Structure 1
Amino acid sequence: MRDAMFLAAMVAIIPMGLGRPDICIALWAYVSLLDPNNFLYGFGATLPYAKFATGLTVVALLTSQEKKVFYCDRTTALVLIFLVIAALAQFTALSDASLGWDILDKLWKIVALNLLVVCFMRTRLRIHLLILTICLAVGFNGAGEALKYLLSGGGHKVEGMPSWGDNNAVALIVLMTMPMLAYVREVSEARSLRLGALAGIILFAICVVATASRGGLVGLLILALAGIAKTRHKVRYMAALLIAGLVLVRTVPDSWTQRMDTIQDADQDSSFMGRVVVWKLSTLIALDHPLLGGGLHAVQSQNVWDAYVPSFGKLSFIPTEEPDVRPHAAHSIYFEILGDTGFLGFLVFLGIIASCVRDSFRIKAAARNRPDLQWAARLASMLQLSLLTFLITGAALSAAYHDLVFLLFALFSTVRAVVVAAPSYEVRALAAAPLQVTGWRSRRLDPVSPPWRLHSSKILK
């Protein structure tokens, strides 16, 4: 039944998506993040929904009457350069294992989606559509795991998902989405949507607890502190956090508390020190191959692992145990990129992050004293929190090639493009334009649609 309902929903989208690249791009992002084959168990589990969304997007681009304008800013250019470096790294990889090629096949599709978002989602309505899509896709899995945890009385533990990764990766993805959900709650006029977003935030926090991820707990605390700094209702917010903390302490099992207590003894924790071992091996790979590294997920290949174990003593100034006989994942977005693509790819990846940070500040500066662009300034603040969560929580897990990361990069570019291209007359035009009641605050149609808007008025037709 579940398979038939989901398949019927996909078929129903076909007439809606013809000639509408924005809907198809959102569908592509939804399917990529949701991974429906993970929760469908009948005939639907074998259907290629990702290929369906990709094909429908291509058809929509061909049938659309919108003006196709290629847009490439600094961030997007760096993303494309990173893809080229990753491809060259894989073609010169130290291992012939299929895992690296699988990562490259996934990466170029993620970058293609990133490019389509930047080129075709450059209006406020379409950005909001993408934000909602991300929240719904991540929310299905995140809220579902949280409900299992509640119904089991704290006995359920999130082990991971095939397309997301282990429990640490699940915690990271949920944490990165929480600021976007907070943005939905803040800008929505519909009370039902605000309550739904609030419920989603609470369930997301419970999901992070259910993962028993120490990095997830650190990320959750960071978001809580950032919320105190940004909210206008500090007393109410801190009271809610206090109550949530007391409930958490009372309800979590002892095993969870004991695991979290090991954070303060990281230098004595075998799990953490095992990650340091992999970081050292990834660094050795990059030192030997500074331009292109060892290839995608090279450190997880047995032959590469065996080749660098004898050189492990070169970094003996960092005391750790000796490496295991079997390879492990990099367990860090930084060392993952460093070992996979060398110092060149690592610097480009840091350049992408720096470009996103710069874009966020440019968005805020351009939106200053512009009532029509306050939504962009607020969204930039929430995206900053998502990026900060990725940089801190991702320091101890491998998640550099996830779809949500590159969608986040695309959102920075897209919002900046909208803000920078906003005409000076937009304040007067918005004041005179009719209000469209759709649940989003201050949603007015601009009577003039410059080419960069890609016929935004057609979105509501």
Structure 2
Amino acid sequence: MRDILITLIVFGSLPLILRNPVNGVLMWVWISVMNPHTQGWGFATTFPFAFIVAVATLFSVALSRLPKALPMSGITFTLITLVLWMNVTTLFALYPEPAYTQWSKVMKIMLMSLVTMTVIRSREDIQRLMWVLTMSIGYYGVKGGIFTIRSGGVDRVWGPEGTFIGDNNAIALALIMTIPLMHYLQQRSEQRWLRRGLSATMLLSALAALGSYSRGGLLAIAAMVVFMWLKSRHKLAGGALIVLLAPLAFLFMPERWSERMDSIGTYQEDESAMGRINAWYMAWNLARDRFFGGGFEIAEPGTFFLYAPNPTDIHAAHSIYFQALGEHGFVGLGLYLLLLGMTWRSAAWIVRHSRNQPELEWAQQLATMIQASFAGFAVGGAFLSLLYFDVPYYLMGVIVATRLLVAGQQTSASPAMLGHVGGGRHAIGQP
């Protein structure tokens, strides 16, 4: 039944996609982030829904009268440069066959991220995209939160198998990144039942993140919560809520959860943590030896034999930063850090230029919550191989579109403001 339902939804959306490429982007995001086909049990689990939606979306973009040029932005320029650099490093990959397979997957993500930046232009488009992103991951937050309550926190929460967020650590970080986006939608919702529903979804998502037993997730949620508290207008009430809820959540989790979280301070005794550090040393040594890095998919015995302190302890990078360093060298890492930095600065620009303007309050709230999302991603990503996770790239597209809207609003308001302040024509020196 689930397989048939998903099939009907996807194929039923094709006429809408051909009518407007924005619908194609929204459908692509739903499929690539939520992976609804993984919730079926039959043919849908392997059916190429994403490919069909991507082709229809690209065809719609080609036929559409909407602007087809990428918006001029430092974010888009840096992302394109990073993508080009990934293509160069693939030519020098240590393991060409697995590198090409991964290259194919990553390029599809990057292509659709650029398409998202191209077609998402209006406030309505942004709002719809935020709902799709939030509900796609929020589904697993509600499901995982209820599962944690039912099991008493004994069993771990996992994401959909075979996806970016299938690992317990990955689903934790995805949920943590989404909680601020839920809060933004809650702020912009007028219906009381919707605000309450989003509050429940946030609480269940936080509980699911804790139920994943992810130590990196715990650090990420701490970074996200601190940032949201610092940006809150009601610090006293917000602080009291954190002080009340955090101990209750921790007390609810069983002793085995506390023991795992306590191992953060004794990482030298933890085999998993030391394996990650061994992989980080490997990435560092590899990047120093090879200007182009090792290309995609370098977690192989031969690489660890040449560059790791412990050649028998083979691990994935478990860090977006060391993953970029090992696979794409210091240039790749530099471009990725620049991309994150420019996204953060653009969000800060939006906050600064929309402050005290009621018509731009939505933009200020959105940019602030995306910053909170990236604060969690920057901390949690230090311990996860999620360099190619698509959600951050979609949020970059949202920031690009929002900044253009804020800049356009200021440009259109300037002449009116000038005339009002200076008394009309006399304000520009006319007699």
Across the aligned residues of Structure 1 and Structure 2, the Cα RMSD in angstroms comes to: 2.0
Partner AA of 2:65 in structure 1: Q
Q: CA 1:366–1:234 in structure 2 vs 1: closer, same or farther (change >3 Å)?
A: closer
Where do 1:355-394 residues align within 5 Å? Answer: 355-394=342-381
Cα distance between partner residues in 2 of 1:236 and 1:70: 42
Cα distance between partner residues in 2 of 1:212 and 1:279: 22
Where do 1:32-43 residues align within 5 Å? Answer: 32-43=32-43
Cα distance between partner residues in 2 of 1:307 and 1:324: 7
Structure 2 equivalent of residue 87 of structure 1:
87
More deviation, 333-342/5-14: 5-14
Structure 1 equivalent of residue 234 of structure 2:
233
Tell me the CA shift for residue 308 of structure 1.
2.4
Deviation per CA, 1:321-361, whole angstroms, max 9, x where unpaired? xx152521011111110000001111111111111122112
Tell me the CA shift for residue 412 of structure 1.
1.9
Structure 2 equivalent of residue 105 of structure 1:
104
More deviation, 5-14/26-35: 5-14
Q: CA 1:344–1:425 in structure 2 vs 1: closer, same or farther (change >3 Å)?
A: closer
Cα distance between partner residues in 1 of 2:301 and 2:408: 51
Q: CA 1:153–1:146 in structure 2 vs 1: closer, same or farther (change >3 Å)?
A: same
Tell me the CA shift for residue 58 of structure 1.
2.0
Tell me the CA shift for residue 266 of structure 1.
2.5
Deviation per CA, 1:269-293, whole angstroms, max 9, x where unpaired? 3322221111111101000012x10
Is residue 90–residue 103 contact of structure 2 (8 Å, CA) maintained in 1? yes
More deviation, 131-140/221-230: 221-230
Structure 1 or 2: more helix by fraction:
2
Where do 1:62-81 residues align within 5 Å? Answer: 62-81=62-81
Find out whether 1:183 has 2:170 as its counterpart.
no
Tell me the CA shift for residue 96 of structure 1.
3.1
Partner AA of 1:185 in structure 2: Q
Cα distance between partner residues in 2 of 1:127 and 1:352: 20
Q: CA 1:31–1:330 in structure 2 vs 1: closer, same or farther (change >3 Å)?
A: same
Is residue 34–residue 138 contact of structure 1 (8 Å, CA) maintained in 2? yes
Is residue 305–residue 311 contact of structure 2 (8 Å, CA) maintained in 1? no
Is residue 147–residue 157 contact of structure 2 (8 Å, CA) maintained in 1? no
Provide the aligned length of Structure 1 versus Structure 2. 414
Is residue 189–residue 195 contact of structure 2 (8 Å, CA) maintained in 1? yes
Cα distance between partner residues in 2 of 1:138 and 1:219: 17
Tell me the CA shift for residue 426 of structure 1.
5.4
Is residue 117–residue 400 contact of structure 2 (8 Å, CA) maintained in 1? yes
Structure 1 equivalent of residue 262 of structure 2:
261
Structure 1 equivalent of residue 302 of structure 2:
303
Partner AA of 2:372 in structure 1: L
Question: TM-score, normalised to structure 1's length?
Answer: 0.85
Deviation per CA, 1:364-416, whole angstroms, max 9, x where unpaired? 23213432212111111111111111111111111111111211222222211
Structure 1 equivalent of residue 25 of structure 2:
25
Secondary structure of residue in 2 paired with 1:134:
helix
Structure 2 equivalent of residue 334 of structure 1:
321
Tell me the CA shift for residue 55 of structure 1.
1.9
More deviation, 379-388/404-413: 404-413
Find out whether 1:128 has 2:142 as its counterpart.
no
More deviation, 242-251/348-357: 242-251
Is residue 71–residue 400 contact of structure 2 (8 Å, CA) maintained in 1? no
Structure 2 equivalent of residue 153 of structure 1:
152
Question: TM-score, normalised to structure 2's length?
Answer: 0.91
Tell me the CA shift for residue 32 of structure 1.
0.5
Q: CA 1:387–1:338 in structure 2 vs 1: closer, same or farther (change >3 Å)?
A: same
Tell me the CA shift for residue 38 of structure 1.
2.0
Deviation per CA, 1:100-146, whole angstroms, max 9, x where unpaired? 22321122112112212222111111011111110011112222222
Cα distance between partner residues in 1 of 2:248 and 2:356: 42
Partner AA of 2:199 in structure 1: L
Cα distance between partner residues in 1 of 2:256 and 2:227: 28
Deviation per CA, 1:209-262, whole angstroms, max 9, x where unpaired? 111011111111222222322333334333332332232233211110100111
Is residue 372–residue 426 contact of structure 1 (8 Å, CA) maintained in 2? no
Tell me the CA shift for residue 66 of structure 1.
2.6
Q: Where does the alignment leave 5 or more consecutive residues of structure 1 unmatched?
A: 313-322, 430-461
Is residue 224–residue 375 contact of structure 2 (8 Å, CA) maintained in 1? no
Structure 2 equivalent of residue 117 of structure 1:
116
Cα distance between partner residues in 1 of 2:30 and 2:255: 36
Tell me the CA shift for residue 428 of structure 1.
11
Is residue 158–residue 211 contact of structure 1 (8 Å, CA) maintained in 2? yes
Q: CA 1:214–1:64 in structure 2 vs 1: closer, same or farther (change >3 Å)?
A: same
Where do 1:409-448 residues align within 5 Å? Answer: 409-422=396-409, 424-425=411-412
Q: Where does the alignment leave 5 or more consecutive residues of structure 2 unmatched?
A: 417-431
Deviation per CA, 1:179-200, whole angstroms, max 9, x where unpaired? 1111000111122221221111
2:395 is aligned, of 398, 408, 415, to 408
Cα distance between partner residues in 2 of 1:172 and 1:250: 21
Deviation per CA, 1:133-176, whole angstroms, max 9, x where unpaired? 10011112222222222222323312444212421111111111
Cα distance between partner residues in 1 of 2:247 and 2:111: 45
Q: Percent identity?
A: 29
Deviation per CA, 1:32-77, whole angstroms, max 9, x where unpaired? 1011232211122221111121022123223433343332311111
